[in-house]
Every structure is written in structure tokens, then in C-alpha cells.
């Protein structure tokens, strides 16, 4: 940022000097009685013109820096919300797909989910939903159209994994009509959805780096 400001100030001053030299040489210098005064006047006018120009450049630089800092802080927030949402949904995925507690969920059976396990899953689900909403709200504030595809794909897979997990939980709790064949066919795809989530999360984090490092 400092290099950019210095470069713009130097270029601005050189442009003013060139213009004022042209005006002085062709319009003022031929009519001037005191040539030295004419040259001194040229530099005086150049300095007078450079003052507001430099103020304008510095003001723009301040605006750019402030805008960068605001977007950087918001992007940091999105990454924190995303990490927490991914952690929560990942914890649920681990409990129903990887851990020995998978036996309660797959293949479909009539085993009752222990109350402490069910409560833990619901608590993590609440954390996921809360952070997913915050992630979406903040990300949409800072991403432009060219970058929003990374967010959209990530948001879709987060919701897809969530929907499939909720489907499995609702089936187990018999909140929806039990279709054992469909349940058992769909359940293994949780693995694909979860790892697709990790891949798209990584892509989003790569995109986020542009907001974290000043150019």
C-alpha cells in the first residue's frame, strides 16, 4: 500500500511538472522579463497544484485501506463461522457414520438412541444452524459476483449434508414414514457429502486469503 501511494504521488508530481514546464516554456517564458522568476513561478504553481492532488491521493488510499480492513475483519468472521459450522456437522457425521455409535443408525434398526447421545447431537445441530446462518449473512456482504460461486457451492453442500443427516435422524425418531430400503440406500452417501464439504471448504479458504493480505 505504501509503495502504491509513493508511486502515485511521484507520477502525479511529474505530470504536473511536465504540464507546467510546457506552459511556462511556450506561453510564459517568451513574455517574461525575468526568466528566473518565470521558472520559480512555475515551481510555485506546481507545488500549489500538487497539494490538492496529493490530498486526493492520500484520501483515496485511506479509503482503500479502510475498506480492506473492514472486508478483512468480515472475512475472518466468515471463516470462524464456517469452522464452527463444519466442526458441529462433522461431529454429528462422526457419531452417526464413523464412531461405534453408528450401530444405532446403520443399517436401519429399531434400537433407541441413548438420551445423552441424542441430546449431544441436537446441541451440535443447534450450533451448526446458528453458525451457518451467520456465515451466509456475512459472506454475502463481502463477496462480489465473480467470487460468489465458491460460496454458493460450499453453502449448497453444507445444506445437503445437513438435510441428509436430518433425514436419517427423523427416520430413526419416526418423525417421517419409515422407508428402510431408501434409508439404507441413502445413508452411505453421507461419506461423499462430507468429503465434498471439506473440498469446497478448502477452496473457499483459498479465496479468503485474498481478503486477508493487503496488496
Question: Where is the domain boundary, 64, 98, 114?
Answer: 64
Same domain, 98 and 158: yes
- The answer to whether 32 touches 38, Cβ cutoff 8 Å, is yes
111 and 22 share a domain? no
- The reply to whether 96 and 112 lie within a common domain is yes
Among residues 64, 82, 98, the one where a domain terminates is 64
Whether residues 191 and 109 fall in one domain: yes
Query: In the chain, which residues have pLDDT < 70?
Result: 1-2, 24-40, 42, 146, 215
For residue 89, the model assigns a pLDDT of 97
Question: Is the domain of 95 the same as that of 48?
Answer: no
Q: Show the DSSP H helices in 24-147 as ranges.
A: 35-93, 115-142
Question: How distant, in Å, are the alpha carbons of 6, 7, 57 from that of 14?
Answer: 12, 11, 14
- The answer to whether the CB of 3 falls within 8 A of the CB of 215 is no
pTM above 0.75, yes or no: yes
Contact yes or no for 184/172 (Cβ under 8 A): no
Tell me what pLDDT residue 61 has: 78
Contact criterion met (CB below 8 Å) for 89 and 162? yes
Say whether both 54 and 86 belong to one domain. Answer: no
CB-count exposure of residue 104 (10 Å: 0-12, 13-18, 19+): middle
Same domain, residue pair 56 and 80: no
39 plus 130 within the same structural domain: no
Co-location of 89 and 36 in the same domain: no
Helix H or strand E segment including 18 = helix 2-23
- Final residue in a domain of this structure, among 43, 64, 85: 64
Look at residue 60 in the predicted model and tell me its pLDDT. 84
pLDDT at res. 29:
62
- Integer Cα distance of 132 and 206 in angstroms: 19
For residue 56, give its domain range.
2-64
- pLDDT at residue 35 in the model: 60
In the prediction, which pLDDT does 70 show? 93
Taken in order 200, 201, 204, 206, the sign of the CA dihedral is: negative
Q: How many CA atoms lie within 13 A of 39 on its CB side?
A: 3
In eight-state DSSP terms, residue 188 is T
Residues 6+ apart with CB under 8 A from 17: 46
**99 and 144 together in one domain:** yes
- At residue 27, the pLDDT reads 64
Clarify whether residues 119 and 59 are in a common domain. Answer: no
| Structural domain total, the chain | 2
124 and 76 in a single domain? The answer is: yes
Amino acid at each position: 500500500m505504501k509503495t502504491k501511494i509513493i508511486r502515485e504521488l511521484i507520477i502525479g508530481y511529474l505530470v504536473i511538472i511536465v504540464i507546467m514546464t510546457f506552459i511556462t516554456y511556450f506561453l510564459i517564458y517568451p513574455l517574461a522579463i525575468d526568466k528566473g522568476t518565470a521558472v520559480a513561478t512555475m515551481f510555485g504553481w506546481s507545488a500549489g497544484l500538487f497539494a490538492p492532488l496529493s490530498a486526493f491521493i492520500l484520501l483515496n488510499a485511506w479509503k482503500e485501506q479502510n475498506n480492506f480492513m473492514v472486508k478483512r475483519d468480515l472475512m475472518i468472521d466468515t471463516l470462524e463461522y464456517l469452522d464452527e459450522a463444519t466442526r458441529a456437522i462433522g461431529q454429528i457425521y462422526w457419531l452417526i457414520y464413523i464412531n461405534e455409535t453408528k450401530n444405532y443408525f446403520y443399517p436401519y434398526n429399531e434400537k433407541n438412541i441413548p438420551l445423552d447421545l441424542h441430546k449431544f447431537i441436537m446441541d451440535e445441530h443447534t450450533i451448526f444452524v446458528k453458525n451457518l446462518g451467520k456465515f451466509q449473512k456475512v459472506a454475502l456482504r463481502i463477496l462480489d459476483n465473480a467470487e460468489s460461486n465458491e460460496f454458493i457451492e460450499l453453502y449448497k453442500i453444507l445444506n445437503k449434508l445437513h438435510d441428509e443427516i436430518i433425514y436419517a435422524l427423523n427416520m430413526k425418531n419416526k418423525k417421517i414414514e419409515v422407508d428402510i430400503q431408501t434409508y439404507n440406500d441413502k445413508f452411505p452417501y453421507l461419506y461423499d457429502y462430507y468429503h465434498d464439504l471439506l473440498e469446497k471448504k478448502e477452496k473457499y479458504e483459498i479465496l479468503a486469503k485474498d481478503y486477508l493480505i493487503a496488496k
